[in-house]
């Protein structure tokens, strides 16, 4: 039975979500962000239902943390909140959230979204360590329309063979870019391929890049 972690500081809302989803899932819930992180790391839920209005830490911070940590970044995060989608949906998707659902919850829709997501073929977990380190990059390549580009971006999620970064330029799956470390001057680090696209409907998509050969001069060599 799939395991869900519900994070909401309102006990009434947690009870409603439990009742609306019971029978199909093994459910854990908490209103404490610190306990939520501990439960996620210990029990590895199949999906997380997250409210944005939490004490101590905002749901935005918790969403970003879940989507950045190697142990939880493959777990789909469903933001369930009273905050209007028009103001916050794109921002949450850019942080890495899978879905944005406004309260009051349409449980029929939520069940369909959960079932669709959990039936999808899981992406293979990374076998290498990833660290959070801020690296400024310049990417050069060709966008979906065939136009050459050179843009600055940054990553805070990198490994020895790849990185996750947002990009204002639309790229296709398997597109390749030249990667440069960028500080006072730029230094070629290697050529990387788009392996994953996140936030397809957002104005600034995020891409999972993997170097096509061992990088030269990459900061995590």
- The confidence band for 126, taking pLDDT boundaries of 50, 70 and 90, is very low
144 φ, ψ (degrees, to nearest 5) = -65, -20
Asked whether residue 125 carries a pLDDT value surpassing 60, the answer given is: no
Average pLDDT (6-34) is 94
Residues of CATH 3.40.50.2300 domain(s) within the chain?
3-119
Asked whether residue 123 carries a pLDDT value surpassing 70, the answer given is: no
- The confidence band for 202, taking pLDDT boundaries of 50, 70 and 90, is low
The third-level CATH classification (topology) of the domain covering 135-211 is Pnp Oxidase; Chain A (2.30.110)
Q: Which has the minimum average pLDDT: 86-100, 120-134, 203-217?
A: 120-134
Asked whether residue 217 carries a pLDDT value surpassing 80, the answer given is: no
| Residue whose pair of structure tokens reads 């890495």 in the numeric block | 96
The CATH homologous superfamily to which domain 3-119 belongs is Response regulator (3.40.50.2300)
103 φ, ψ (degrees, to nearest 5) = -80, 150
Residues of CATH 2.30.110.10 domain(s) within the chain?
135-211
The Cα 122–Cα 183 span in angstroms is 37
Helix (H) or strand (E) holding 196: strand 186-198
The Cα 190–Cα 53 span in angstroms is 41
- Burial (0-12, 13-18, 19+ Cβ within 10 Å), 108: exposed
Average pLDDT (171-179) is 93
Mean pLDDT of the chain: 86
């Amino acid at each position: 039975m799939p395991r869900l972690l519900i994070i909401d500081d309102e006990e009434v809302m947690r009870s409603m979500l439990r009742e609306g989803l019971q029978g199909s899932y093994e459910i854990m819930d908490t209103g404490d962000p610190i306990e939520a992180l501990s439960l996620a790391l210990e029990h590895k839920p199949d999906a997380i239902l997250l409210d944005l209005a939490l004490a101590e830490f905002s749901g935005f911070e918790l969403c970003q943390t879940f989507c950045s940590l190697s142990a939880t970044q493959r777990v789909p995060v469903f933001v369930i909140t009273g905050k209007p989608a028009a103001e916050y949906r794109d921002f949450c998707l850019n942080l890495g959230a899978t879905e944005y659902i406004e309260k009051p919850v349409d449980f029929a829709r939520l069940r369909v979204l959960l079932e669709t997501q959990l039936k999808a073929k899981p992406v293979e977990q990374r076998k290498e360590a990833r660290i959070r380190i801020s690296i400024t990059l310049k990417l050069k390549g060709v966008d979906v329309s065939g136009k050459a580009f050179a843009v600055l971006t940054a990553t805070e999620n990198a490994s020895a063979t790849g990185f996750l970064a947002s990009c204002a330029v639309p790229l296709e799956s398997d597109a390749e870019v030249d990667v440069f470390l960028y500080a006072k001057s730029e230094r070629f680090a290697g050529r990387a391929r788009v392996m994953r696209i996140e936030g397809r409907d957002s104005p600034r998509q995020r891409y999972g890049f993997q170097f096509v050969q061992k990088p030269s001069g990459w900061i995590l060599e």
